[in-house]
């Protein structure tokens, strides 16, 4: 099966002071797939996201987006090219209401000078709120939303940008079981609509439920890659998560 | 909602009528203080664009006021340029100074930004004192030509200058209101609320920050020019720390991020400092105490307090709540 590669990292290195956060990362994201990335805390998942989306510049290596070298591009240039992210620690525009949070993203997608009327923007924003299940909260200030609602809003804001590749950083972190189910359904919907999705997660239930392909990172190195079932039973991965003893047992 | 915006328009018209009627009292002293209040209200509103709408604490803002005033003064005295053109070029010079401060300060936030802008203010102050072959140093520059009149209007009269400043003030406030309630304004607020999130939705935050610096400092420069051609004397104190603190106090007292708030602050402080003239030496002490008290007890300023306690109690209009939250 030869699938189109939409995003590729080539030999990415990133160092923070004495710590090497990423060493020689080579990953490929295929068009239309739902890729999961797992790894213990500090394994470099978020750093990788930051580098792909332009929030950090790699020390070495290149980022290739659909054949274009986008290494060192700023976040807004990446968004323009359809690479959109969410944050592990939610970052809604706190002082704004839910609808305006989405509106700002829509302004950016249509361009500040676009002739798209405010009425159309609001209509579009309401459709997104419907999709993420926050219609009844549109007038509420973002800072008074529950944690789960903030997570949804964050995904909604990303959707407003019509991403080609959506990178979700722990979308279910700190949520209740019911909320997690909502988010899983939402991510599946987004994926079924043709968006390529990359999810970083800790929650194994979520990651096994969602991902078609899985990459495991540990200490800044890719330690396993492939079918999710194979990856989670890979001794290296078990060892990284649970320590040496369990790795031997699981064999 | 429609009702409340009609009410707002009624209030604004009432206010404008009062402003128009004030000079008919013939009280020259009041007219004088009002002119200075308009100039300061323009200046404070321009600063609010940075403080209230981008969340940048700017401490050396008076520098831009002074750059505008000196540019216009020097151009009209030395090369005989029309003061009208001088005022506009003062705005441009101030905007260039804004770029000179803004670009290096792009990466700075919070207290670091405050300190660096304070430094910028001090540099301008020292330049005005030490470049005495141009600026006459601490002596200042007297005999600045007034704005030339057009036809029957002569701007050397206090009353006509009053109406000129009232007009300029209304125009600038209208522009600021349009700007902040536009898409551009919402994007600024988004940046203020969360810079990373703003980047993540594709906002080129550096570009927006620079653009707002330029707009704000242009207006500050223009207000400096109008001041110079009114008082007809400038000195380096225009760029002093106490002047900067005074402008900031107006913004915070009136209510940052509210368009109208800084004007309220400017009018209150201008009149209060006239009343407290005997305590002039303690000006900084008073302003400092005032800032601390406002931030502690009335973070929304006078305007925020009024809206919260008068308007909201009557009608819980979501729109207004959103505005005050900012």
Segment A21-47 shows an average pLDDT of 91
Is A98 contained in some domain?
A: no
Nearest CA in chain A to B188: A104
Is A63 contained in some domain?
A: yes
pLDDT of B86 strictly over 60: yes
pLDDT classification of B318: cutoffs 50, 70, 90: very low
Q: Looking at mean pLDDT, say which of A67-71, A204-208, B81-85, B220-224 comes out highest.
A: B220-224
pLDDT classification of A64: cutoffs 50, 70, 90: very high
Query: Measured between alpha carbons, how far is residue B118 from residues A75, A211, B208, B210, B301 in Å?
Result: 30, 52, 22, 18, 23
Segment A10-32 shows an average pLDDT of 91
Is A64 contained in some domain?
A: yes
pLDDT in tens, B121-168: 999 999 999 998 888 988 888 988 888 877 667 777 888 899 999 999
Cβ atoms of residues B326 and A95 within 8 Å: yes
Segment A173-188 shows an average pLDDT of 91
CB atoms within 10 A of CB A49: 22
Give the rounded percent of residues in chain B with a pLDDT score beyond 70: 93
Q: B316 exposed, middle or buried (CB, 10 Å; 0-12, 13-18, 19+)?
A: exposed
**CB–CB contact A104 B186 (8 Å):** yes
Evaluated on CA atoms B317, B319, B324, B326, the torsion sign reads positive
Which residues on A lie below 8 Å from B321 (Cβ)? 141
Nearest CA in chain B to A154: B197
pLDDT of B3 strictly over 60: no
Q: B178, B179, B187, B200: best mutation site toward chain A, by most A Cβ within 10 Å? A: B200
pLDDT in tens, B195-244: 999 999 999 999 999 999 999 999 999 999 999 999 999 999 999 988 89
**CB–CB contact A76 B194 (8 Å):** no
**CB–CB contact B193 A86 (8 Å):** no
Segment B174-202 shows an average pLDDT of 92
Between residues B319 and B183, the one the model is more confident about: B183
pLDDT of residue B1: 45
Nearest CA in chain B to A52: B200
Segment B71-80 shows an average pLDDT of 93
* CA–CA gap between residue A209 and residue A23 (Å, rounded): 29
Q: Domain with A207 in it: what CATH number? A: 3.40.50.300
pLDDT of residue B322: 46
Across chain A, mean pLDDT equals 90
Helical residues (DSSP H) of chain B, grouped into ranges: 2-21, 28-51, 62-78, 83-102, 110-130, 132-135, 158-180, 183-193, 195-200, 205-231, 241-254, 261-275, 283-297, 301-306, 312-314, 318-325
pLDDT classification of A247: cutoffs 50, 70, 90: low
pLDDT of residue B301: 85
Domain ranges in chain B? Answer: 24-325
Where does B24-325 sit in CATH, by number? 1.10.3470
The token pair that represents A226 in the structure block = 């492939």
pLDDT of residue B321: 45
Cβ atoms of residues B141 and B77 within 8 Å: yes
Segment A210-225 shows an average pLDDT of 90
**CB–CB contact A75 B197 (8 Å):** no
The token pair that represents B51 in the structure block = 């403080």
Query: Measured between alpha carbons, how far is residue A227 from residues A34, A86, A235, B54 in Å?
Result: 12, 25, 14, 47
Closest partner residue to B200 (CB to CB) among A75, A80, A95 is A75
- Quote the pTM value: 0.86
Which residues on B lie below 8 Å from A104 (Cβ)? 186-187, 190, 198, 201, 203
Closest partner residue to A104 (CB to CB) among B201, B204, B205 is B201
pLDDT of residue A237: 86
Which residues on B lie below 8 Å from A167 (Cβ)? none
* CA–CA gap between residue A65 and residue A83 (Å, rounded): 9
pLDDT of residue B128: 93
pLDDT classification of A244: cutoffs 50, 70, 90: low
* CA–CA gap between residue B44 and residue B169 (Å, rounded): 11
Find residue B155's DSSP bridge partners: none
Is A177 contained in some domain?
A: yes
Domain count of chain A? 1
Three-class secondary structure of residue A223 per DSSP: strand
pLDDT of B100 strictly over 70: yes
Segment A217-224 shows an average pLDDT of 89
Segment B21-46 shows an average pLDDT of 92
Q: How far is the first Cα of chain B from the last one, in angstroms, to the nearest whole number?
A: 19
Q: In what order do the strands lie in the sheet with A68-69?
A: A19-30, A5-16, A60-65, A68-69
Complex ipTM value: 0.89
Segment B259-288 shows an average pLDDT of 85
pLDDT of A157 strictly over 80: yes
Between residues B76 and B294, the one the model is more confident about: B76
Is A103 contained in some domain?
A: no
Which residues on B lie below 8 Å from A50 (Cβ)? none
Is A143 contained in some domain?
A: no
Range of the domain at A60: 5-93+161-250
């Amino acid at each position: 099966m030869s699938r189109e590669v939409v995003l590729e990292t080539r030999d990415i290195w990133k160092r923070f002071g004495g710590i090497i956060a990423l060493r020689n990362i080579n990953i490929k994201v295929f068009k239309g797939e739902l890729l999961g990335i797992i790894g213990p805390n500090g394994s470099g998942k978020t750093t990788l996201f930051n580098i792909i989306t332009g929030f950090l510049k790699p020390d070495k290596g290149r980022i290739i987006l659909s054949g274009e070298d986008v290494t060192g591009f700023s976040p807004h240039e990446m968004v323009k090219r359809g690479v959109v992210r969410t944050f592990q620690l939610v970052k809604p525009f706190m002082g704004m209401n839910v609808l305006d949070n989405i509106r700002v993203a829509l302004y950016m997608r249509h361009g500040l000078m676009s002739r798209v009327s405010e009425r159309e923007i609001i209509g579009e924003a309401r459709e997104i709120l419907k999709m993420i299940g926050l219609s009844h909260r549109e007038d509420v200030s973002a800072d008074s939303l529950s944690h789960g609602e903030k997570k949804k809003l964050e995904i909604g804001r990303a959707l407003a940008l019509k991403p080609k590749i959506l990178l979700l950083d722990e979308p279910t972190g700190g949520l209740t079981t019911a909320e997690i189910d909502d988010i899983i359904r939402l991510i599946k919907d987004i994926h079924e609509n043709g968006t390529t999705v990359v999810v970083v997660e800790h929650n194994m239930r979520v990651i096994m439920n969602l991902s078609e392909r899985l990459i495991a990172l540990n200490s800044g190195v890719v330690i396993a890659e492939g079918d999710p079932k194979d990856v989670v039973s890979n001794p290296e991965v078990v060892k990284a998560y649970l320590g040496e003893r369990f790795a031997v047992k699981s064999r | 909602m429609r009702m409340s915006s009609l009410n707002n328009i009624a209030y604004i018209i009432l206010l404008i009528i009062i402003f128009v009627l004030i000079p008919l009292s013939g009280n020259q002293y009041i007219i004088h203080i009002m002119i200075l209040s308009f100039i300061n209200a323009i200046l404070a509103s321009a600063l609010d664009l940075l403080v209230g709408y981008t969340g940048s604490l700017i401490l050396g803002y008076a520098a831009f006021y002074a750059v505008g005033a000196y540019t216009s003064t020097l151009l009209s005295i030395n090369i005989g340029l029309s003061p009208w053109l001088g005022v506009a070029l003062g705005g441009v010079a101030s905007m260039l100074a804004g770029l000179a401060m803004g670009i290096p300060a792009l990466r700075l936030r919070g207290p670091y930004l405050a300190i660096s802008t304070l430094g910028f203010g001090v540099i301008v102050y020292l330049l005005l004192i030490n470049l005495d072959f141009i600026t006459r140093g601490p002596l200042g520059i007297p005999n600045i030509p007034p704005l030339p009149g057009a036809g029957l209007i002569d701007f050397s009269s206090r009353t006509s200058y009053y109406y000129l400043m009232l007009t300029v003030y209304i125009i600038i406030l209208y522009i600021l209101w349009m700007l902040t309630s536009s898409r551009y304004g919402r994007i600024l607020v988004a940046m203020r609320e969360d810079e990373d999130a703003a980047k993540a939705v594709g906002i080129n935050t550096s570009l927006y920050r620079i653009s707002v610096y330029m707009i704000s400092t242009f207006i500050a420069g223009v207000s400096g020019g109008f001041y110079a051609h009114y008082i007809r004397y400038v000195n380096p104190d225009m760029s002093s720390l106490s002047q900067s603190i005074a402008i900031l106090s107006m913004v915070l007292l009136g209510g940052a991020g509210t368009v109208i708030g800084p004007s309220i602050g400017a009018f209150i402080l201008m009149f209060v400092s006239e009343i407290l003239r005997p305590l002039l030496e303690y000006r900084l002490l008073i302003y400092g105490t005032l800032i601390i008290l406002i931030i502690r007890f009335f973070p929304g300023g006078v305007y925020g307090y009024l809206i919260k306690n008068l308007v909201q109690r009557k009608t819980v209009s979501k729109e207004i709540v959103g505005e005050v939250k900012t």
